[in-house]
Amino acid sequence: SQKIEQNSEALNIQEGKTATLTCNYTNYSPAYLQWYRQDPGRGPVFLLLIRENEKEKRKERLKVTFDTTLKQSLFHITASQPADSATYLCALEVVDKIIFGKGTRLHILP
Amino acid sequence: DAGVTQSPTHLIKTRGQQVTLRCSPISGHKSVSWYQQVLGQGPQFIFQYYEKEERGRGNFPDRFSARQFPNYSSELNVNALLLGDSALYLCASSRSPGQGANEQFFGPGTRLTVL
């Protein structure tokens, strides 16, 4: 069956450094991969979508890469700030449904 | 513009009861999806509706059902509630049904507690 893994449950990063989150998947070749941010008690908020033919995508301080050979996406936040502290979810489309990873809780330490 | 709205925000039920959750998508969005999120886990896909027809279904028992109305709002029904149904239920809307290719806008969720 399809599986999506975010390899860190929690990540502590010093303010100003780059935070890198990993999303790995197996048994599927998705055409799209998405990243969301979720704050406690709230619904996820869409951040970025990357297509299988795109190696990299950027939005302000965010960067996503998509390696279909490694079956891996990396999500980077540069110049991290305490306000970036949240849970980050990756998601991919499998046939007719979206599968989300468990998420990585990111803590940016002042 | 108003975002996705869900009602109620919180709900407490007892085992065996039935519950109906409601969702209004963003104006102009015709696709609505439902997710269940248990604490510490990512959202689990339940259903997607587009133009009032079911487009996708996750691995949930038949106790879970949904429908979409002509104004694109949607209801999720859960019968014979179990303790394990306690979760945050999220609704998401998008312009078209391709979930992978389209940004989904999530509502704040309904927190369901089953006692």
From first to last of the 115 residues of chain B, give the pLDDT tens digit: 689 999 999 999 999 999 999 999 999 999 999 999 999 899 999 999 999 999 989 999 999 999 999 999 999 999 999 999 999 999 999 988 776 677 899 999 999 999 9
Q: Please tell me which of the candidates A30, A43, A89 has its beta carbon nearest to residue B42.
A: A89
- Please give the residue of chain A at the shortest CA–CA distance from B5: A43
Report how far apart, in Å, the C-alpha atoms of B37 and of each of A53, A108, B71, B87, B109 are.
Answer: 31, 24, 26, 6, 9
The tens place of each residue's pLDDT in chain A, 110 residues long, gives 668 999 778 999 999 999 999 999 988 888 889 999 999 989 999 999 998 889 899 999 999 999 989 999 999 999 999 999 999 999 998 777 788 999 999 999 99
- What's the confidence (pLDDT) of residue A9? 82
Distance CA B14, CA B110 (A): 16
The token duo for B69 is 């109305």
Instruction: Give contacts of B90 with chain A, Cβ < 8 Å.
Output: 43-44
Q: Please tell me which of the candidates B40, B100, B108 has its beta carbon nearest to residue A31.
A: B100
Q: What is the DSSP letter of B100?
A: T
Report how far apart, in Å, the C-alpha atoms of B66 and of each of A34, A91, B78, B94, B100 are.
Answer: 25, 23, 9, 17, 21
Distance CA A22, CA A20 (A): 7
Instruction: Give contacts of A99 with chain B, Cβ < 8 Å.
Output: 45
What residues contact A97, with CB distance under 8 A and at least 6 apart?
A: B45, B48, B56, B57, B58, B99
Interface contact B100-A97, CB threshold 8 A: no
